[in-house]
Every structure is written in structure tokens, then in C-alpha cells.
Amino acid sequence: MEEKTREQIITERVSDFQHSFGSGPGKRVLAKLSKFCLEKEGTFVENSERKSSYNEGARSVIIEIRRWLEYDLTKLRKEQDNE
């Protein structure tokens, strides 16, 4: 069995995220996650380092999802061409 290249893995992952979150139900789930994970809110809670850390961890989830949804595959292909 042939091992996948870095480009194939990334392209597949981007496709998976777009397929999962690009449809009507996926967009609704993403909107719910955005609110739940405090994507557009502050995560700091005064006098509670633990709660602030928890909030920041939750926020990192939605940031990771957005990163894959917005990944620019043309940059990846240009990197491959330059190697």
C-alpha cells in the first residue's frame, strides 16, 4: 500500500472539514460550536485562572476548525513546486 504524501493528507483533511461543515446542517453545527467555544468573545475570567484556561482550550477547538476550513491549498501546491 502506497503511503500518502503530505499534500494528499492535507488536501484530504481540508476536503473532510469542508464536507462536514459546508452543508446546511454542518453550518448550523459550526455556528453552535462558534458560540459554545467563545470564538468571538473574550476567554478571560477575572480571579479564575482555571476557567480562563478552560475557555481558551474550548476556543482553540473552533480556531482549529476554521483553520482547516480556510486552508489555502494553492499555497500548499506552490510550496510543493518550490521544493
Structural domain includes residue 39: yes
pTM: 0.82
Structural domain includes residue 18: yes
Structural domain includes residue 83: no
Q: Which domain holds residue 44?
A: 6-77
Q: How many domains does the chain have?
A: 1
Written in H, E and C, the secondary structure of the chain is CCCCCHHHHHHHHHHHHHHHHCCHHHHHHHHHHHHHCCCCCCCCCCCCHHHHHHHHHHHHHHHHHHHHHCCCHHHHHHHHHHC
Higher pLDDT, 79 or 13: 13
- pLDDT, tens only, 5-47: 999 999 999 999 999 999 999 999 999 999 999 999 999 999 9
